Every structure is written in C-alpha cells, then in structure tokens.
C-alpha cells in the first residue's frame, strides 16, 4: 500500500486492448497509484516520455499497435531513460519472451493476471 507521506508513483500503461488497459488503470488507481491515461503504441510511449515528466514505472504489452512492438519500445526507452518496465503479454512462446529477457524487465505478467499478482509485481518493480 502506498503511504500518505510518500509521493504517489505514476504508472504509464502501454496496452493496445482497450478493455485490458482500462482494467489495469482502474486496478492501479484502486491500489493507490497514479495510473496515467493508457497509450496503445510504442511511438505513443516514446512521445509521452519525451514530452512529460517521466513515469515511475511503465507496464507494457509486448504486442502494441504501431511500428514498434513493446520490446522495441523498451529498447528505445532504455537507451535514454532509467524507467522500470513490466512486460505484459498473452503470448508465452519462449522465443518471444527471450527477446524481452535481455532487457532485464522488472517483471513479467501473463494475461490473464490476478489483481494480487499485478500489485505484487508493481510493488517489487518500485522497490516497495
């Protein structure tokens, strides 16, 4: 649980499935986090991070709309910023996950995920 005297961590959600993005946002807000408006493409993630205060965490689907998938987007983010990333995916093929592993994500959530699993992974990534 987020303590009152601490600043509320902001979390950017990068998810191209609208209902999942909304569910993530609502779940994180109920848990006391500042869930930013979701974005659906890798390009939107990079644009957001370049134009706004950096989020404390990014939850990123491996499959995103646009030219950059979640793994390519994470590579671009890592080149310039130190923002922890949790990957989210319905895909569990080892080859696809291996592409994400070399980025040392702070967590990985398979879809569907339990709310308790989401919050525990977020807390670990934020060092709480």
* 71 neighbors 103 (Cβ within 8 angstroms): yes
pLDDT digits (tens, 9 = 90+) for 28-82: 999 999 999 999 999 999 999 999 989 999 999 988 999 998 989 999 998 899 9
Distance CA 15, CA 65 (A): 8
**pTM of the complete model:** 0.87
Q: Which CATH architecture has domain 10-125?
A: 3-Layer(aba) Sandwich (3.40)
Binning pLDDT at 50, 70 and 90, where does residue 3 land? Answer: very low
Would you list the domain boundaries of the chain? 10-125
Q: Is 4 exposed, middle or buried (0-12, 13-18, 19+ CB in 10 A)?
A: exposed
pLDDT exceeds 60 at position 93: no
- 110 Cα distance to chain centroid: 12
């Amino acid at each position: 649980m987020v303590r009152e005297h601490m600043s509320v961590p902001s979390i950017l959600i990068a998810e191209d499935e609208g209902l999942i993005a909304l569910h993530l946002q609502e779940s994180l807000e109920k848990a006391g986090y500042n869930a930013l408006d979701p974005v659906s493409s890798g390009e939107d993630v990079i644009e957001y991070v370049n134009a706004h205060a950096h989020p404390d965490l990014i939850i990123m689907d491996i499959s995103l709309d646009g030219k950059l998938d979640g793994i390519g987007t994470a590579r671009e983010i890592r080149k310039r910023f130190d923002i922890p990333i949790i990957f989210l995916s319905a895909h569990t093929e080892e080859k696809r996950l291996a592409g994400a592993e070399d980025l040392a994500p702070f967590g990985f959530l398979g879809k569907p995920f339990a709310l308790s699993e989401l919050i525990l992974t977020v807390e670990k990534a934020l060092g709480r």
